[in-house]
Structure 1
Amino acid sequence: MALTGLPGTAQAAPATTAMNGAWCNPAQGSFPSGGGFHAPRGGGLHLGQDISNPSGTPLYAAAAGTVIRRGVAVIGGRTGNGIVIQHAGGMFTYYGHLDAFRVALNARVAAGARIGDMGTTGNVTGPHVHFETHSGSLGNPVDPVPFMAARGVDLRGGWSRVNPGASGQRVRAIQHLLNQRRGAGLLVDGVYGSVSSGAMRAFQSANGLAADGQVGPQTWPVLVYSLRRGAGGSHVRALQTALNKRSAGLAVDGDFGGVTESALRTYQSGNRLVVDGLAGPVTWRALVG
């Protein structure tokens, strides 16, 4: 759906950056012991990173792309039901041990779109997702933890990092938050160009933060608001935008009413967060991860 923009100044085209807003966390959970890249596994090596949470926990596309494989044992024979997504630039991601599929083969998916549910299919000792990243070609796995970190994503669930030059839904949320915090009058276009990054540097300077324009673990907690039903304004638009990145399908109207509260509670419940209808720091961290 189209997001509601705000009047403001158009921005310069973004510069290239690895932390460009194109990638996001595929799952909430914890790292189990022995589930890291190149750990010994059954006479071979474990070629991904496991992330544990109960069966049914949502899995999200780590970046925009096309579902090129969907089924049983789509890579190897140990990881049960799986999905492979092909991304731009010769990148691929793989999600194994799914209990349910949420997308079809050959589907085009956006970053953050729900693609399946964490589960126990294949060779497992408990529910988790086996997550792989492949660079250059499918069959060339690289360690997902540093791969995703280089793109601003902490697989352990920490705050994301977004650099000037980024674009996308996460940037729209940042622009909405800056409009609420500073009355910046930014055009909410999803482009983190010179105008938005300048407004962010001014915000960081005013709040005693490093004025580098990066929205990361120091800036996000100061930028976001704790929001409940009844709130209204650009900060609610930011929340609705972040929920939409995770497939909520909300109207971005700045009204924290019953529909937005229901979407927030659904997200909290699915991702094993406290289901209180409060968009506080823990929920924001997961949403913008």
Structure 2
Amino acid sequence: MCRSCAAPTGPNDLSAGTGHPLPGLSRRGLLAGLGLGALTVGLSAGAEARAVAAEALSAGAVAVAAARNGAWAGPAQGRFPAGGHYGAPRGGGSHAGQDVSNSTGTAVYAAAAGTVIRRSWGGGLPGRTGNGLVISHGGGQYTYYGHLSAYRVGLNATVSAGQRIADMGATGNVTGPHLHFETHTGALGTTVNPVSFLAARGVDLAGGWSRIDPGASGATVVVIQHLMNQRGYGLVVDGAYGSVSADAVKRFQRSKGLVADGQVGPATWPVLVYTLRQGGSGSHVRALQTALNRRSAGLVVDGGFGSVTTSAVRTYQSVNRLVADGEAGPVTWRALTG
């Protein structure tokens, strides 16, 4: 868990274009960044309190409206340590992110596509320690990855959602190895609760199944289309979760006695995926290879579960501290598609 990683109070004027340490967050900036967070902060009565509360509610409404469109991915596998939540007391400030604990060397992934704009101690952010990365995702959205043991991308690198960017570690002021993960919205320095921020985008930071809604696009949609085709639905694998694919998923859900809403989430994924091992072949293997490639495996998507795919599954399992048996079962699928 982080001993520091606080967002200290002070003027909120952070610039993504400078490598210098940045001022902290104002109380108003911190509260506006809560989104759907569980942190409750007591303020004095009066106009200021009402204004700050309105800002927090507005931020929450934006988070609710965010699309579960497959553009975001879980940054690491692990557990939430006690006291490592967003807003936990940290000396004169509040914990600015969510900690995810696991062993040193556990893989860390980009939460969304973007550009690495910081690669330095603490990411140039006040109150942070250890090796850190900041990724700009455009539209005023940033993510921060702290206490890393190794970098796997360079400064100014362009990254994709789910790409491996670093290894988990215990650099800086910590009690043990973990990822300190932050989400910033509006400006670098305006933090929001990472758990609720990602949940609004279909990602369970605690490691649960993702949620993908109709209208989504990208690699995870390709995974869904391949899995549906293995079940005989004959979809065009184009990575676009349009009306044809959504209607097919609804038919599949009805056939399994599920709510036919078209969302591929915790109820649908477990009955859609297959347990796969070496020697298998088909569209479900193409789905697995696509999911592994989203996590930087670099496989040829040929639908054949040979020795190369087995090695990629074992490697993925190992670097995410799963049972490294080379078999793609529900636990591995859940991590891959999260």
Shorter-chain TM-score above 0.5: yes
Task: Measure, in 1, the Cα distance between the counterparts of 2:131 and 2:194.
Answer: 20
Report runs of 4+ in structure 1 exceeding 3 Å deviation: none
Structure 2 residue 197 is matched with structure 1 residue 197: no
The alpha carbon displacement at 1:168 in A equals 0.6
The alpha carbon displacement at 1:192 in A equals 0.4
Structure 2 residue 208 is matched with structure 1 residue 154: no
Q: What is aligned with 1:188?
A: 237
- Residues 219 and 291 in structure 2, CA contact (< 8 A), matched pair in contact too: yes
The percent identity for this pair of structures is 71
The alpha carbon displacement at 1:224 in A equals 0.1
The alpha carbon displacement at 1:187 in A equals 1.1
The alpha carbon displacement at 1:44 in A equals 1.6
- Residues 64 and 109 in structure 1, CA contact (< 8 A), matched pair in contact too: yes
Mapping of residues 14-25 of structure 1, within 5 Å: 18-25=67-74
Match of 1:280 among 329, 334, 337: 329
Task: Measure, in 1, the Cα distance between the counterparts of 2:268 and 2:129.
Answer: 38
- Residues 117 and 134 in structure 2, CA contact (< 8 A), matched pair in contact too: yes
- Residues 174 and 238 in structure 1, CA contact (< 8 A), matched pair in contact too: yes
Q: Scaled by the length of structure 1, what TM-score is found?
A: 0.93
Instruction: State the Cα deviation string for residues 196-237 of structure 1 (Å, max 9, x = none).
Output: 101100100111010000000000000000000000000000
Paired AA for residue 41 in structure 1: R
Q: Which structure would you say has the larger RCO, counting Cα contacts within 8 Å and 6 or more residues apart?
A: 1
Mapping of residues 67-216 of structure 1, within 5 Å: 67-74=116-123, 75-181=125-231, 183-216=232-265
Paired AA for residue 159 in structure 2: V
Task: Measure, in 2, the Cα distance between the counterparts of 1:73 and 1:96.
Answer: 7
Paired AA for residue 24 in structure 1: A
Q: What secondary structure sits across from 2:289 in the alignment?
A: helix
- Residues 60 and 112 in structure 1, CA contact (< 8 A), matched pair in contact too: yes
The alpha carbon displacement at 1:19 in A equals 0.1
Q: Greater CA deviation, 244-253 or 17-26?
A: 17-26
- Residues 66 and 200 in structure 2, CA contact (< 8 A), matched pair in contact too: no
User: What root-mean-square deviation, in Å, do the aligned CA atoms of Structure 1 and Structure 2 show?
Assistant: 1.0
Task: Measure, in 1, the Cα distance between the counterparts of 2:202 and 2:236.
Answer: 24
Structure showing the higher helix proportion among its residues: 2
The alpha carbon displacement at 1:253 in A equals 0.4
The alpha carbon displacement at 1:77 in A equals 4.2
- Residues 79 and 130 in structure 1, CA contact (< 8 A), matched pair in contact too: no
Paired AA for residue 244 in structure 1: N
Q: What secondary structure sits across from 1:121 in the alignment?
A: coil
Structure 2 residue 228 is matched with structure 1 residue 228: no
The alpha carbon displacement at 1:17 in A equals 6.1
Structure 2 residue 281 is matched with structure 1 residue 242: no
Q: What secondary structure sits across from 2:115 in the alignment?
A: strand
Task: Measure, in 1, the Cα distance between the counterparts of 2:299 and 2:265.
Answer: 26
Q: Scaled by the length of structure 2, what TM-score is found?
A: 0.80
* Structure 1 residues 17 and 253: alpha-carbon distance in aligned structure 2, compared to 1, 3 A threshold: farther
Q: What secondary structure sits across from 1:98 in the alignment?
A: strand
Q: What secondary structure sits across from 2:132 in the alignment?
A: strand
Instruction: State the Cα deviation string for residues 132-179 of structure 1 (Å, max 9, x = none).
Output: 000111010000010000000001100000000000100000000000
- Residues 226 and 278 in structure 1, CA contact (< 8 A), matched pair in contact too: yes
Q: What is aligned with 2:114?
A: 65
Q: What is aligned with 1:10?
A: none
- Residues 17 and 163 in structure 1, CA contact (< 8 A), matched pair in contact too: no
- Residues 17 and 166 in structure 1, CA contact (< 8 A), matched pair in contact too: no
Q: What secondary structure sits across from 2:267 in the alignment?
A: coil
- Residues 120 and 126 in structure 1, CA contact (< 8 A), matched pair in contact too: yes
Instruction: State the Cα deviation string for residues 56-93 of structure 1 (Å, max 9, x = none).
Output: 00000000000000011222243310000000321100
Task: Measure, in 2, the Cα distance between the counterparts of 1:143 and 1:248.
Answer: 30
Indicate the structure (1 or 2) with the bigger Cα radius of gyration.
Answer: 2
Structure 2 residue 301 is matched with structure 1 residue 252: yes
Task: Measure, in 1, the Cα distance between the counterparts of 2:129 and 2:184.
Answer: 16
Task: Measure, in 2, the Cα distance between the counterparts of 1:120 and 1:80.
Answer: 8
Task: Measure, in 2, the Cα distance between the counterparts of 1:36 and 1:175.
Answer: 36
Task: Measure, in 1, the Cα distance between the counterparts of 2:207 and 2:247.
Answer: 28
Q: What runs of 5+ residues in structure 1 fail to find an aligned partner?
A: 1-15
- Residues 182 and 191 in structure 2, CA contact (< 8 A), matched pair in contact too: yes
Q: What secondary structure sits across from 1:197 in the alignment?
A: helix
Task: Measure, in 1, the Cα distance between the counterparts of 2:140 and 2:122.
Answer: 22
Q: What secondary structure sits across from 2:165 in the alignment?
A: strand
Task: Measure, in 1, the Cα distance between the counterparts of 2:150 and 2:240.
Answer: 34
Instruction: State the Cα deviation string for residues 232-275 of structure 1 (Å, max 9, x = none).
Output: 00000000000000000000000000000000000000000011
Q: What is aligned with 1:5?
A: none
The alpha carbon displacement at 1:41 in A equals 1.0
* Structure 1 residues 270 and 104: alpha-carbon distance in aligned structure 2, compared to 1, 3 A threshold: same
